[in-house]
Chains A and B, each alone.
Chain A
Amino acid sequence: MMRYLFPLVIFAGLTTLFIFGLQNDPRYVPSPLINKAAPEFTLPTLHKPDQNISINELKGKISLINVWASWCAACRIEHPLLNNYTKKYQLNLYGLNYKDKRSHALQWLENLGNPYIESAYDEIGTVGIDYGVYGVPETFILDKKGIIRYKHIGPIDDEQFSRIIMPLITKLKQDQYP
């Protein structure tokens, strides 16, 4: 009898696997940069082309890097939320303006408001590659030592912000690491 049940057992195993599989998002790629030092960069700022901004400026405080571009449709949806969050909470939010035209990007901030302390201008996207950016917008959370603790891919929404991002920032402020 056992050997006739064998196909059923295999089938049950596969079905269980698929039930697990349905809960995962195949597009989501976890970043290997989590819990590693944020890659170094020195880039001109968006507003002042002759001034540079480097990763060192972000160290010593919990900071967020939001990768955005004026051509990115999803960023337009995320943007008002970012404005809202920076008003409500003490967030050190930096922008990484990714493969954009400077004039377009400046116009966008003018029209929609500027939630960023400063935006770095990554014209050709090399810093984006170093950060493993693939689906703009993306948001990185860095701890005080400049270590990446979390990466969010795609636009943040309120639910994710209050469930994942805010608690993490609170924890990091108390020097607790996940």
Chain B
Amino acid sequence: MIAELGNISLSAALAMAIIQSVFPILGAAKGNQTWMSLARPTARLQFLFVLIAFMILIYSFLVNDFSIAYVANNSNTLLPWFYRFSAVWGAHEGSLLLWVLILNIWTIAVTFFSRHLPDHFLSRVIGVMGIVSIGFLLFMLFTSNPFERLFPIPTNGADLNPLLQDIGLIIHPPILYMGYVGFSVAFSFAIAALLAGNLDITWARWSRPWTLLAWIFLTLGIALGSWWAYYELGWGGWWFWDPVENASFMPWLIGTALIHSLAATDKRGIFKNWTILLAICAFALSLLGTFLVRSGVLTSVHAFATDPTRGIFILALLAVFIGGSLILYAIRAPSTKSAGSFELLSRETFLLFNSILLLVAMLTVLLGTIYPLIIEALNLGKLSVGAPYFNAVFIPVMTPLVIFLGFGVLTKWKQNNFVTFLRKIRTLLISSLLIGICIGAVFFSDNQLKSIAGIVAALWISFTSLYSLFVKIKDKKDKIIAFKIIPYSFYGMLIAHIGFAVSIIGITITSQHSIDIHQRMKVNDKIEFADYKFHLMDLKTLSGPNYQATEAVVDVIKNGQLITTLRSQKRIYTVRNISMTEAGIDAGFTRDIYISLGEPLNDGAWSIRLYHKPFVRWIWLGAILIAIGGLLAIIDRRYRLDGLLKKTSSNNNEAISTIK
């Protein structure tokens, strides 16, 4: 009964989505106020229905309703309640429902926080989001219904994939989807502007906070995913260049280009078409990610159980949404004129380089990800493209980006004096190089060149960023006031760029200087490794709610002092008979010690892997800084939504007059 309610709720949501897209968009075209006014109430009703469906699915998991196929396939009475809760989005159907719910959260957020936008514009934005929702609701109802019944009803469920029984899975997908799906807002703003035929800069200003917010979520989502893989997969890797990871990284790269390009469009009225294209591209890549993960065209560690009909459906959605948008773009874009102009040596130049280089980076990842498909489609064989390839080509592609980043923050809008510019970069470049080389030479004895390159890159980014702050305050008499009048968005940029530098340091040092050892150990065995002594104190058998485990207890000793006691488990989840490793990690600012229990060997010994991973935390610390930087940019008074309220009243008139 309850499952049928879920179905009815989804159908009602679909009906709302149809009204939400048809009438407001037509109304905006015809100037029909009544039709436009349907946008907000229908969007809110749609949200309500999707929320009810979602709640019903949660309820079905919590009460173990195995008459629902999705619950039976992904849960079990032995599964702890919080995993039964997160199992809602643990597989394809439920995660799709989460996708739609999050799309609706973004939509109602727009209905609440964008009331100041002109009616015709807001109607179109909400209408476009409605169209996206229609597509995904149809997809769910026709190919992936989470409420499908199962008969005969099994006495117990098949359990949740043990890999997903973790705190990481409770939070990682919702955050990541907030990012993915959030780009639908930027996309809808861009389409609304195209529909209006008015690529004035106002749309860019309005969509900036939304785009930034989606990008922040995506940044955090990717970082969480990386952190989760690090401790959950049990071999200490944090990025594998797996198709699913690439699927989230590509929209991030374009999202990063987009937020920079939006800034240029907003402030200087340039790159208008380019920004529109990036907004379409970011959402296209989110959809592409959905396709790659759920269609089964590529094999991946984290892919969902797949089915070709789903692939065809998503591909059709992709073709309609993105194909349609690009046709609209081809019609509208030629009539747009850039307002501002700039010299070769200007911030605009470097922002343009920035977004084009990020595009190149994205294309590189895309090429590597789909290359096996290309080759197979052309009947030229079958091959794999993995981490060694990406590591080899991605770094050279990113290098000019890092250099230009420094140039960009040092230049002013419009034009710059070449000599002063040269003088500025000379000192900063030399000091980054010298300090980088010194650090590399003092601290590292092997892989020096690569380590130095990474450190120099990070220093260059930090020094140029800090210098741009120094320039802003050096001539001011009252330094405190000088600091105060600098807008939040500037601090945001500063922190985000330094976050990027911090991540580069983490990535460089971890990749170049991590060491590990694979060891046979019995209770009371001791080994020396990476300046630490590891003492296997105990091997005990434990039983969890739905698994049996062996736990290794290892004391870590340095200079005769106990640093920490690490515990690593080898679990066998009884329902699916799958084994999992729970790593034991001592996290530190400059190093992680990581142990992972392997397999039982003969005569009571076990294989154990020990890892020493310097600066690995910096990778995620950098991501957090980047996100904080983004947040500061959002709360900047100039873009804050209530600030917009006052400001846009005059812009509205402008916008309307240009339409006429």
Contacts and interface: CB of A to CB of B under 8 A. Distances in A.
A30 B311 contact: no
B477 to A, nearest CB: 51
What secondary structure prevails in chain B residues at the interface with A? helix
A20 interface: yes
Given A11-B284, A11-B323, A15-B319, A22 B308 contact: yes
Contact of A4 (B298, B322, B334): B334
B271 to A, nearest CB: 15
A8 B319 contact: no
A22 B315 contact: yes
B299 A27 contact: yes
B297 A26 contact: yes
A89 to B, nearest CB: 31
A18 B327 contact: no
Interface string B358-383: 00000000000010111011000110
Interface in B277-297: 277, 280-281, 284, 291, 295-297
Contacts of A30: 381-382
A11 B285 CA distance: 11
B393 interface: no
Contacts of B323: 8, 11-12, 15
A14 B363 CA distance: 12
B330 A4 contact: yes
A7 interface: yes
Interface string A1-16: 1001101100110110
A124 interface: no
Given A7-B277, A27-B299, A1 B284 contact: no
B327 A8 contact: yes
Interface in A45-89: none
A17 interface: yes
A138 to B, nearest CB: 16
A111 interface: no
A1 B333 CA distance: 9
A1 B329 CA distance: 11
Contacts of B382: 29-30
B88 to A, nearest CB: 28
Given A5-B330, A7-B277, A8-B330, A26 B299 contact: yes
Contacts of B277: 7
A100 to B, nearest CB: 19
B578 interface: no
B297 A18 contact: yes
A21 interface: yes
Given A1-B334, A22-B311, A26-B299, A17 B373 contact: yes
Contacts of B645: none
Contacts of A14: 370
B314 to A, nearest CB: 9
A146 to B, nearest CB: 25
Contacts, number: 69
Interface string B338-364: 000000000000000000000000000
B330 to A, nearest CB: 4
Contacts of A162: none
A30 B376 CA distance: 11
A176 interface: no
Contact of A22 (B284, B312, B326): B312
Chain B, interface size category, equals 20 to 34
B326 A7 contact: yes
Given A20-B377, A22-B315, A11 B297 contact: no
A17 B376 CA distance: 10
B318 interface: yes
Contacts of A7: 277, 280-281, 326, 329-330
Given A22-B311, A26-B297, A29-B382, A17 B370 contact: yes
A15 B314 CA distance: 11
B318 A21 contact: no
A24 interface: yes
Contacts of A8: 323, 326-327, 329-330
B244 to A, nearest CB: 13
A4 to B, nearest CB: 4
A14 B374 CA distance: 9
A27 B372 CA distance: 12
A129 interface: no
A30 B380 CA distance: 11
Given A8-B327, A24-B376, A18 B333 contact: no
Contacts of A20: 373, 376-377
Given A18-B315, A26-B297, A27-B299, A4 B333 contact: yes
A139 to B, nearest CB: 19
Contacts of B333: 4
Contacts of A12: 323
Contact of B322 (A11, A18, A23, A26): A11
Nearest to B303: A26
Contacts of B298: 26
Contacts of A21: 297, 370, 373, 376-377
B358 to A, nearest CB: 16
A30 B333 CA distance: 46
A34 to B, nearest CB: 12
A1 B330 CA distance: 7
A117 interface: no
B315 A4 contact: no
A22 B322 contact: no
B228 to A, nearest CB: 24
Contacts of B377: 17, 20-21, 24
A4 B297 contact: no
A21 B296 CA distance: 9
Given A1-B334, A4-B334, A17 B374 contact: yes
Interface in A110-153: none
11 contacts: A4-B330, A5-B330, A7-B280, A7-B329, A8-B327, A11-B323, A14-B370, A18-B297, A21-B370, A26-B296, A26-B372
Interface of B: 273, 277, 280-281, 284, 291, 295-299, 308, 311-312, 315, 318-319, 322-323, 326-327, 329-330, 333-334, 370, 372-374, 376-377, 381-382
Given A21-B373, A22-B297, A24-B376, 19 more contacts: A1-B334, A4-B273, A4-B333, A5-B330, A7-B281, A7-B326, A8-B323, A11-B284, A11-B326, A12-B323, A15-B315, A18-B291, A18-B295, A20-B376, A21-B370, A21-B376, A24-B297, A24-B373, A26-B299
